[in-house]
């Protein structure tokens, strides 16, 4: 009895090394900090991120000469506080990442599960859609759509969501094909459960661990693509404080005031790095759990 009682504890402890890995811990800290900053942005910003003051334009950060203590990261070309815009930029980036993943996940997971479970011509049609999507140049289509429709936060999110579903579909299809012939699926069918019930209550929960990892990777990709679109002037419209837009607005001053382009660039790099580290850690943790 004593040995049996310690098995769950040993199983849990065997997962801890991967979770406590420094890279995973760093990813959790970065993403957690970004989420908290985005949630409490109105209480953390020392100034209005949209307020302009041309008398205070291009003030350097506090570690440089001619700085001002009330503007820790300086101001931009319109005299807006850079720290306040950077904080609100985290909210914009995470909002785009999360909503894009939700939109693309709904499309890709639905197609992947249906194709993997039913097989036959249904699966062939799903594979045809995936092949068509993979043949489309992602950034060029996004640029075209945003240029034709117009740039706005909703258009960017919808465009990216409609273009980033293929990885969800491939993973969902492959994992569904692996579980559709297992005993618990046959038991549910023998009990008279409907196919909708089987797909939602039996298949989806058992492939969710793979989809969570895909979601983290797609979130990082969506944030980078939004930054690229904003840098090209076809992403989030001004004066919204998108990090990509901040980089685009600062490119004219990068040789004389390099901090205006380095600050949002470093923030974007750190956030994407944290999301990828978190995704790798979740993959290792879920893989360790599936072996128990």
HSE (CB half, 13 Å, CA atoms) of 287?
A: 10
Which runs of E-coded beta strand occur in 150-284? none
Establish if 290 belongs to a structural domain. no
HSE (CB half, 13 Å, CA atoms) of 138?
A: 17
Element (H, E) at 2: helix 2-5
User: Residue 201's domain spans which residues?
Assistant: 91-238
Listed residue (62, 34, 78) closest to 70, CA to CA: 62
Query: Quick one: average pLDDT of 200-206?
Result: 86
Listed residue (104, 105, 103, 126) closest to 114, CA to CA: 126
Establish if 181 belongs to a structural domain. yes
Model confidence at 199: pLDDT above 70: yes
b/e per residue 136-146 (b: at least 16 CB within 10 A): eeeeeebbebb
Residue 146 maps to which CATH number?
Answer: 1.10.3720.10
Would you place residue 168 in the very low, low, confident or very high pLDDT band (cuts 50, 70, 90)? Answer: very high
Handedness of CA 85, 90, 93, 96 (dihedral sign): negative
Please state whether the predicted TM-score (pTM) of the whole model is above 0.85. no
Would you place residue 78 in the very low, low, confident or very high pLDDT band (cuts 50, 70, 90)? Answer: confident
CB under 8 Å to 223, separation ≥6 — which residues? 93, 94, 96, 97, 268, 271, 272, 275
Model confidence at 109: pLDDT above 90: yes
Establish if 19 belongs to a structural domain. no
Model confidence at 287: pLDDT above 70: no
The residue that leads in pLDDT, 214 or 290, is 214
Would you place residue 104 in the very low, low, confident or very high pLDDT band (cuts 50, 70, 90)? Answer: very high
Residue % of the chain over a pLDDT of 90: 22
Total count of domains within the chain: 1
Would you place residue 16 in the very low, low, confident or very high pLDDT band (cuts 50, 70, 90)? Answer: very low
Model confidence at 23: pLDDT above 60: yes
Please report the pLDDT score of residue 169 as a whole number: 93
């Amino acid at each position: 009895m004593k040995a049996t009682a310690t098995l769950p504890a040993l199983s849990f402890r065997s997962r801890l090394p991967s979770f406590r890995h420094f890279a995973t811990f760093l990813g959790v800290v970065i993403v957690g900090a970004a989420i908290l900053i985005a949630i409490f942005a109105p209480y953390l910003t020392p100034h209005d991120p949209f307020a302009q003051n041309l008398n205070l334009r291009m003030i350097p950060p506090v570690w440089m000469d001619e700085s001002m203590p009330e503007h820790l990261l300086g101001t931009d070309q319109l005299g807006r506080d850079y720290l306040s815009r950077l904080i609100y930029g985290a909210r914009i980036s995470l909002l785009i990442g999360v909503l894009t993943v939700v939109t693309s996940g709904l499309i890709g997971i639905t197609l992947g599960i249906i194709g993997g479970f039913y097989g036959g011509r249904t699966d062939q049609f799903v594979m045809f859609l995936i092949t068509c999507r993979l043949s489309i140049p992602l950034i060029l289509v996004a640029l075209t759509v945003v240029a034709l429709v117009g740039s706005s936060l909703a258009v960017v999110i919808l465009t990216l969501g409609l273009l980033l579903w293929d990885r969800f579909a491939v993973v969902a299809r492959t994992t569904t094909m692996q579980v559709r012939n297992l005993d618990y699926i046959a038991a549910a069918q023998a009990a008279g459960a409907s196919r909708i019930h089987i797909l939602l209550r039996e298949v989806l929960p058992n492939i969710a661990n793979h989809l969570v990892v895909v979601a983290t990777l797609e979130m990082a990709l969506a944030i980078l693509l939004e930054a690229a679109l904003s840098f090209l002037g076809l992403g989030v419209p001004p004066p919204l404080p998108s990090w990509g837009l901040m980089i685009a607005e600062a490119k004219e001053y990068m040789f004389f005031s390099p901090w205006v382009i380095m600050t949002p660039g470093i923030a974007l790099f750190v956030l994407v790095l944290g999301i990828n580290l978190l995704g790798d850690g979740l993959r290792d943790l879920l893989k360790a759990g599936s072996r128990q």
